[in-house]
Structure 1
Amino acid sequence: MSIGMLSTEQLYHKFLECTGVSTDTRRITPDCLFVALKGDSFDGNRFAEQAIASGARYAIVDDALVAERDRSNGQNHYLLVPDCLTALQNLARHHRQTFNFPIIGLTGSNGKTTTKELMAAVLSKNYQLYATVGNLNNHIGVPLTLLSLNEQHEMAIVEMGANHQEEIALLCSIAQPTHGLITNVGKAHLEGFGGMEGVRKGKGELYDYLAQHAKTVFINSRDKTLTVMYRERLKTIRSESTFAEAIFYPGEETDLIQESPVVVFRDSAGHEVTTHLPGRYNFENMLAALAVGDYFGVSPEDANRAVSDYNPTNNRSQHITKGTNTVLLDAYNANPSSMAAAIQQFAATPAKRKVVILGDMYELGSESEAEHAALGELIAKSKFDLVILAGKDMHYALGALPNAYYFPDKFSLHNWLMDNPMTDTHILVKGSRGMSLESVIPFI
């Protein structure tokens, strides 16, 4: 007898019996719910039996033969659905609708994760908060984030990443944010978005959702692009629906006193705050966190303390001391906008000797050659003591950098660093995630 497909409601009752959700058999916890997703080179259905054997209570599968084999053995561990990914997303949407506390949607080309961490630090002063863990910010990660919410939470921050149009719209339909913030719109994922206008449109899907559902938006008033995007939606939507509220920040004046080696700012009450993060771009992230905290009633003293205490450990704007060297590790990701900001900030940092170790910027498509060449020109103007480039596309930067050291692969780079030790040097390490340039740290 064939096994019937389960509805989202039926799946949800099974989910409530479980202790959590996993899509990876290497991370099975007792009585969790395993979701058998498919990838380019794997089929999660093949691992469902292993998940159950490892302690999962149920496995969501979309292969009827797998489910029937389980039933024929007198078991009832497998939950059959038409498509596992869609089932995961629908389950997360259903779970999200059981909560009525604020859910803040956060996206942008640069600074998403740092802003999320700063916001979480600030809001946690007053609320039982859950925020996206690591980089679980895509069509799989956002559902997993939402399914981690429980009745003990009072607020959530859901980071939303995207590399093509309509992805943020999908994530909004699942997370259904009550509040939202776009950090900025820059040159990231140009290949998938189809150029800068595509990036603008794709990131703007968060504004679209918030406007159409009369929700609250936080907007950096210093960012002309974001302000224009907001006004465009006011004109388009007109009387049908609009934002419930628009919070433009910064409101009261917050002065940037110093941006390197770390940001120091003075708030509107005259209090000076020293942080662990460098750069004007991180100051913008701090302003976002402070504005959101103020809106939700966190005292200025607590918010300042949270921002001051935040110390990154995730390869983003992370200061590391290696002997007599100081390393600024910003190797979690890179695109033309974030790379330019990091280089300009590092060039302004006072130091006797400055070296940059830079890796390829990914997902630029046909723009890659021009963007890497432009990066080379920017680096040349900065007059660093030593420039080290790695990756196949970084050779496009060499035209403006005849004295740079270039390595097509990291193995050669590692060997060179071992053979040429540095002392008393400030070093910026930055590249796209696929380069994993944090691997150079043991060799510095």
Structure 2
Amino acid sequence: MVFLRKLKPRKGGQNTILFRKKLISIYSHFMNPKIFNSIQSIPAKFVGNQFDTALDSVSIDSRSLQNGSQTLFFALVGVHTDAHIYISYLIENDVRNFVVSHIPEGCEERANFYIVENTLTALQEFAAQYRSLFDFPVIGLTGSNGKTIVKEWLNFLLSPDYNVIRSPKSYNSQVGVPLSVIAINEQHNLGIFEAGISSRFEMNKLQNIIKPTVGVLTNIGSAHDEGFLNLEEKVKEKMSLFQSCEVVIYQFNENITSILSQRQNAFTWSFTNQEADVFIGKKTDREQTELQVCYNKEDFKINIPFQDEASIENAISCLMVLIYFNYDHFTIQNRMKMLYPVEMRLKVKNGINNCSIIDDSYSSDFQSLKIALDFLESQKQSDNKTVILSDIFQSGLYKEELYDKVAELIVSNNISRVIGIGETISEFKDKFQNCVTYKNTAEFISDYDNIDFSNETILVKGARSFEFEEIVWLLEEKTHETVLEINLNAITYNLNFYKAKLKPNVKIMVMVKAFGYGNGGFEIAKLLEHHKVDYLGVAFADEGIALKSLGIQLPIMILNPENTSFNAIIQYQLEPEIYSLKGLKAFLKMAAQKGLQDFPIHIKLDTGMHRLGFEANTIDELIATLKGNQNVNVKSILSHLATSDDLIHKDFAKSQIDLFEKLSSQLISELDIKPIRHILNTSGISNNVDSQYDMVRLGIGLYGVSNDSEEQKKLENVGTLKSIISQIRTIAAGESVGYGRKFIAEKPTKIATIPIGYADGISRGWGNSVGFVTIKNQKATIVGSICMDMLMVDCTEIECKEGDAVIIFGRNPTVSYIAGKLQTIPYEVLTSISQRVKRVFYRE
């Protein structure tokens, strides 16, 4: 086999980062304090009192507990986020070096500032300069699907021979790629970076940062099609990542070949075209796929433990890299058969004894540890935090140095307890406070009953070889095998999608009522608090009390408070919506009795919904009741649109908005107040852009559902309801399935039973051949009546087995599709899912 070149830093320069207009020096030791690199400048004006500052990390997240005196912080500016506003807070927390577009007022002379025109551009230029110091092979991955899986598999296949630096998780964006590249150090000798784009003119920036020498194009699908004029434009944009590559690996396609420049070599594969460099046949059985590989007039076979088309294609991309690197057939065969399903997610699960578990049990490297600890902080459900950690691999650092840095991370993230598993971490046990170690996973499991796990958040992070999934299983609360998986990345994406529609300074309230529309209240509220939304909205006081009791600090508005709940609302510092004179007088009486001063309340106006609220003929009495009262403060005035989702009734919506303007203005004028005004819900954000007032209320859109078909294409699916096949049987023609013999087979039919029913929230109307589930990416029609705890499907045409996964809803079918068939709305489908169905929260 051919071994790649050892890493060799380029010559020239001192151990400095050159910043200032032409050159500004900053002493640095990125990820390796013993080896210093000379980094060329980016254009910047230096303002500060200390030229030379020791740095060991770059950050863009003001919330990270890892920020400190050796952090270089890039204050990125987005559509609705501006990190400059957190600089004063960061200075108070010992951060001293910032890349900014301006120095915030009051921060002058308190830190070092490198002033640039655009901080994102500066980060990208900085990363490109940093990358240019290293001269070793880099694999660049792009495509619509499969990038992260191929990256992780290549890391697994190549790491026995190389010290690999790779993108953590799905760090493939305009921000993620620079952060990935900056993690390189002088011990690395092979890079694997993925690049993802969603629109034109993005890839050249990533190419300049990654500078790949080997290109791999994975599957080209429909993801992010809306950012391009056509498929050809999308392919050309993606292929621009490979402009400096010595070779480009892809499935044979003449259109792609025509895009390559003359200096690039194509290395292609195909199932059907023998003109490809590597011709592949395949034979799939129930357990694995055999690939018959023909390359360079030699034939050999390999087995991979997958049957689905996507995994087979991803595995072939890896195979092509191994062939190109001249690996021998024996090594390829032995390593490829050991490929494993890649879990790309950080999952939050309910644990035993009131614990929550963050499952990151398939990888353990320094960069991904930093990400996991940040995720732990954003999702912690207790101040007690335990980390179960295996030996750490592929850091590019010497052991002593590595575990010094790990110990620093543990301290900065306020971890209460460390449980180390592995020979190496056991050697460095003394670097950690409150730490116990075990030589291997089996030793930990044998001692499990002697360890107390209760009322804490536990991060389980281990390299695959340690089989930490066994630890997760021990710690996880045992429930039945139907789960609702909640994609926290998708929630963040959808939140930012709607934020981008808002005018500057418009606040956002997010509705987490009805258990977060069935998706889980606290976990989503915690994420929203992490993203600094302005308000949360719930329906009833008990929902708000539950969130406050679990530590949510955001202001929470109670939309439907009952008079009997006023005492609890005051006790938990919740903020009631007041919609009637009776309710107002009752609250004012209690407020006076308790001696409250300026307690926040929200006045609801009825402008045409005719559900709750003060009508126009009650406004004078409302004003008279509130005038001069010091016990309460009208924090906001709101109303609700009845037809914001239906443009046929846009005139009615306008009449509501006009009446709201009139009535709210009267209140503001006569009470001499400056409240927040808000009337728009999710559909209103998109359809009534001129009526955003001071705040909007985001509801179902956050969860990936829109009433507009074009907008729906731009949202990401949040919830996927999954189950498994409990049993498969074949029935003869004339035999029936389920209660009442509602389904009678016309021919021999294979029936799968799935452990989910109407007690879990599946409508009985979805049965009897109306609805379907998805098994192995194929539709399986629901036959017979849906039972309380089970439903049955026809899987005659599907190669499946007991234990296989089943999608009840998600991308196919969607909740909107189900709602349409049931003649209801997506809200009802989502909120019907029983709380006995376990929620699993994950981050890609």
Q: Normalising by structure 1, what TM-score? A: 0.68
Alignment equivalent of 2:324, drawn from 276, 284, 295: 295
Q: Give the aligned partner of residue 124 of structure 1.
A: 159
Q: Give the aligned partner of residue 226 of structure 2.
A: 191
Q: Give the aligned partner of residue 236 of structure 2.
A: 204
Q: What's the CA shift for 1:188?
A: 1.1
Give the greater-gyration-radius structure (CA). Answer: 2
Q: What's the CA shift for 1:155?
A: 1.1
Helix, strand or coil for the counterpart of 1:34?
Answer: strand
2:353 maps to 1:314: no
Q: Is the 8 A contact 1:104 1:178 kept in 2?
A: yes
Q: Give the aligned partner of residue 265 of structure 1.
A: 290
Write the distance in 1 (CA, Å) between the matches of 2:90 and 2:311: 42
- Superposed, 1:275-424 pairs within 5 Å as 275=305, 277-307=306-336, 308-315=338-345, 325=481, 353=752, 382-383=780-781, 385=792, 388-389=808-809, 394=814, 397-398=817-818, 402=821, 407-408=826-827, 411-415=830-834, 418=836
Q: What's the CA shift for 1:411?
A: 4.8
2:198 maps to 1:163: yes
Write the distance in 1 (CA, Å) between the matches of 2:320 and 2:112: 47
- In the superposition, relative to structure 1, how do residues 439 and 88 fare at CA in structure 2: closer, same or farther (>3 Å)? closer
Q: Is the 8 A contact 1:119 1:288 kept in 2?
A: no
Q: What's the CA shift for 1:148?
A: 0.9
Write the distance in 2 (CA, Å) between the matches of 1:184 and 1:392: 20
- In the superposition, relative to structure 1, how do residues 188 and 206 fare at CA in structure 2: closer, same or farther (>3 Å)? closer
Alignment equivalent of 2:83, drawn from 44, 50, 57: 44
2:169 maps to 1:134: yes
Write the distance in 2 (CA, Å) between the matches of 1:398 and 1:127: 49
- In the superposition, relative to structure 1, how do residues 148 and 381 fare at CA in structure 2: closer, same or farther (>3 Å)? closer
Q: Give the aligned partner of residue 216 of structure 1.
A: 247
Q: Give the aligned partner of residue 246 of structure 1.
A: 266
Deviation readout 1:357-386 (Å, 9 max, x if unpaired): 9xxxxxxxxxxxxxxxxx99x989543546
Q: What's the CA shift for 1:178?
A: 1.4
Alignment equivalent of 2:99, drawn from 57, 60, 63: 60
Q: Is the 8 A contact 1:104 1:181 kept in 2?
A: yes
2:90 maps to 1:70: no
Q: Give the aligned partner of residue 10 of structure 1.
A: 24
Write the distance in 2 (CA, Å) between the matches of 1:83 and 1:136: 21
Write the distance in 1 (CA, Å) between the matches of 2:59 and 2:222: 33
Write the distance in 1 (CA, Å) between the matches of 2:486 and 2:754: 14
Q: Give the aligned partner of residue 367 of structure 1.
A: none
* Counterpart residue identity of residue 814, structure 2: M
Q: What's the CA shift for 1:142?
A: 0.7
Write the distance in 1 (CA, Å) between the matches of 2:812 and 2:78: 27
Write the distance in 2 (CA, Å) between the matches of 1:220 and 1:178: 18
Alignment equivalent of 1:88, drawn from 109, 113, 123: 123
Alignment equivalent of 1:20, drawn from 57, 61, 74: 57
Q: Give the aligned partner of residue 146 of structure 1.
A: 181
* Counterpart residue identity of residue 122, structure 2: A
Helix, strand or coil for the counterpart of 2:63?
Answer: helix
Write the distance in 2 (CA, Å) between the matches of 1:47 and 1:81: 18
Q: Is the 8 A contact 2:131 2:181 kept in 1?
A: yes
Write the distance in 1 (CA, Å) between the matches of 2:484 and 2:86: 41
Q: Give the aligned partner of residue 364 of structure 1.
A: none
Write the distance in 1 (CA, Å) between the matches of 2:304 and 2:284: 9
Q: Is the 8 A contact 2:250 2:267 kept in 1?
A: yes
- In the superposition, relative to structure 1, how do residues 214 and 284 fare at CA in structure 2: closer, same or farther (>3 Å)? closer
Q: Which segments of 5 or more consecutive residues in structure 2 lack a partner in the other structure? A: 1-18, 31-53, 271-276, 294-298, 347-361, 363-468, 491-703, 705-712, 718-723, 730-750, 757-772, 783-791, 794-806
- In the superposition, relative to structure 1, how do residues 255 and 152 fare at CA in structure 2: closer, same or farther (>3 Å)? same
Write the distance in 2 (CA, Å) between the matches of 1:405 and 1:306: 51
Q: Is the 8 A contact 1:12 1:91 kept in 2?
A: no
- In the superposition, relative to structure 1, how do residues 168 and 408 fare at CA in structure 2: closer, same or farther (>3 Å)? farther
Q: Give the aligned partner of residue 425 of structure 1.
A: none
Write the distance in 2 (CA, Å) between the matches of 1:259 and 1:51: 57
Q: What's the Cα RMSD here?
A: 4.6
Deviation readout 1:102-129 (Å, 9 max, x if unpaired): 1221111111111111112112121111
Helix, strand or coil for the counterpart of 2:266?
Answer: strand
Q: Which segments of 5 or more consecutive residues in structure 1 lack a partner in the other structure? A: 340-345, 358-374, 422-436
Write the distance in 2 (CA, Å) between the matches of 1:350 and 1:44: 55
Write the distance in 2 (CA, Å) between the matches of 1:135 and 1:200: 25
- Give the total of aligned pairs: 372
Helix, strand or coil for the counterpart of 2:831?
Answer: helix
Q: What's the CA shift for 1:133?
A: 0.5
Write the distance in 2 (CA, Å) between the matches of 1:397 and 1:185: 26
Structure number with higher helix proportion: 1
* Counterpart residue identity of residue 80, structure 1: I
Q: Give the aligned partner of residue 35 of structure 1.
A: 74
Q: What's the CA shift for 1:94?
A: 0.4
- In the superposition, relative to structure 1, how do residues 247 and 59 fare at CA in structure 2: closer, same or farther (>3 Å)? same
Q: Is the 8 A contact 2:818 2:829 kept in 1?
A: no
- In the superposition, relative to structure 1, how do residues 312 and 305 fare at CA in structure 2: closer, same or farther (>3 Å)? farther
Between 1:138-147 and 1:385-394, the stretch displaced more is 385-394
Write the distance in 1 (CA, Å) between the matches of 2:22 and 2:827: 49
Q: Is the 8 A contact 1:34 1:51 kept in 2?
A: no
Write the distance in 2 (CA, Å) between the matches of 1:118 and 1:48: 39
Q: Is the 8 A contact 2:144 2:223 kept in 1?
A: yes
- In the superposition, relative to structure 1, how do residues 178 and 356 fare at CA in structure 2: closer, same or farther (>3 Å)? farther
Write the distance in 1 (CA, Å) between the matches of 2:811 and 2:158: 39
Q: Normalising by structure 2, what TM-score? A: 0.38
Write the distance in 1 (CA, Å) between the matches of 2:314 and 2:86: 41
Percent identical pairs in the alignment equals: 22
Q: Give the aligned partner of residue 230 of structure 1.
A: 257
Q: Give the aligned partner of residue 149 of structure 2.
A: 114
Write the distance in 2 (CA, Å) between the matches of 1:390 and 1:140: 28
Deviation readout 1:165-190 (Å, 9 max, x if unpaired): 12122211222221212112211112
Q: Is the 8 A contact 1:168 1:202 kept in 2?
A: no
Between 1:245-254 and 1:281-290, the stretch displaced more is 245-254
Write the distance in 1 (CA, Å) between the matches of 2:92 and 2:285: 53
Deviation readout 1:54-97 (Å, 9 max, x if unpaired): 3445221221345x8432xxx54322222211110110010111
Alignment equivalent of 2:282, drawn from 249, 256, 269: 256
Q: Is the 8 A contact 2:91 2:111 kept in 1?
A: no
Q: Is the 8 A contact 2:207 2:240 kept in 1?
A: no
- In the superposition, relative to structure 1, how do residues 104 and 244 fare at CA in structure 2: closer, same or farther (>3 Å)? same
Write the distance in 2 (CA, Å) between the matches of 1:327 and 1:350: 20
Q: What's the CA shift for 1:409?
A: 6.9
